[in-house]
Amino acid sequence: MGATVSQDDNDSDCHTHQSPINIWTKMALYDPFLKPLKIQYDPTTSRKIVNLGHCFNVEFDDTSDMSVLSDGPLNSRYRLRQFHFHWGSSDKDGSEHVIDGNVYPAELHIVYWNSQKYESFEEAAKHPDGLAVIGVLKLTNRITLNLVSLLIQGKEHSFTKYNLARLLPNDLDYWTYHGSLTTEPYFECVTWIVLQRAIPISSAQLTRFRGLLCTSEYEKPVPIMENHRPVQLLHDRVVRSSRL
Ligand SMILES: CC#CCNS(=O)(=O)c1cc(S(N)(=O)=O)ccc1C(=O)O
Ligand SMILES: [Zn+2]
């Protein structure tokens, strides 16, 4: 199944590092100097799950380097901020990154910011090396996120001691390229790290995602049926692979 490339207004000359992209695996360059990802995670840093209206975020305490990402393609230590998901109106689409023209039913993004170089997340987001996002294309069907308490926009619920490892495959081989946020303000501040392995998501979990509402309790209920951005032009970028 092909993926159309968006020609949206972010495709002007100064926006040539936009995300997501279609990763053509045969065109990816194996880089033997890429290190294995080093993910240090402390479950006590998970704080709450919030319905933002266009998606939901699981947010972490990022006031110190307790849950961090380092090595891999990175030259600094990056602090865990939040994770969220993208999904589609049917199981046939939903991921943001596309692999060899194949779209997956959902995508997890784990967002980190460069706390070694910048004072705050907001400051880091203004710089090309400010953020690092791990993308997991097919999600584990071990996700049992209880979203009932999140039904309407603006709702939040405490979410503590979450075991992030449940969302990650054992094999952490990855593709990496420089790109952008896939939502407003589309800043080109992200080192994308898209994992090459994972376990497909359950259809029941996708249905629960689509049951979330982007409306408040006083409005006519409107579900968040999909929240994935079309793929963008690669331009002069090269995608590197951690695996031959
Ligand atoms: C300034 C700024 C900013 C973006 N914030 S985020 O990196 O947490 C983020 C990142 C992404 S994504 N899809 O680019 O990783 C999506 C949504 C969000 C969000 O605000 O909730
Ligand atoms: Zn995202």
Report helix, strand or coil for 132: strand
Shortest-distance Cα residue to atom 5 of ligand 1: 181
Tell me the C-alpha distance between 181 and 232, whole Å.
Answer: 12
Angle (CA) 82-83-87 rounded to 5° is 145
Which residue's CA is the closest to the ligand 1 atom numbered 7? 111
Nearest ligand to the C-alpha atom of residue 111: 1
Q: How far is the CA of 178 from the centre of ligand 2 (A)?
A: 15
The answer to whether 79 and 112 have CB atoms below 8 angstroms apart is: yes
- φ, ψ for residue 148, nearest 5 deg: -55, -40
Tens of pLDDT, residues 193-226: 999 986 667 788 878 877 777 777 788 877 777 7
Active site residues: 54
Longest alpha-carbon distance in the chain: 55
- 135 — alpha (psi -120 to 50), left (phi > 0) or beta? beta
pTM to 2 decimal places: 0.89
The 10s digit of each residue's pLDDT in 6-62 is 544 444 567 899 999 999 999 999 999 999 999 999 999 999 988 877 778 899 999
- d(C-alpha 190, C-alpha 78), whole Å: 11
Residue 109 Cβ < 6 Å to ligand 1 = yes
How crowded is residue 33: how many other Cβ atoms within 10 Å of its Cβ? 7
82 lines ligand 1 (CB under 6 A): yes
Distance 194 CA to ligand 2 centre (A): 12
pLDDT digits (tens, 9 = 90+) for 149-165: 566 677 788 878 888 88
ipTM of the complex: 0.97
Say how far apart CA 130 and CA 120 lie, in whole Å.
10
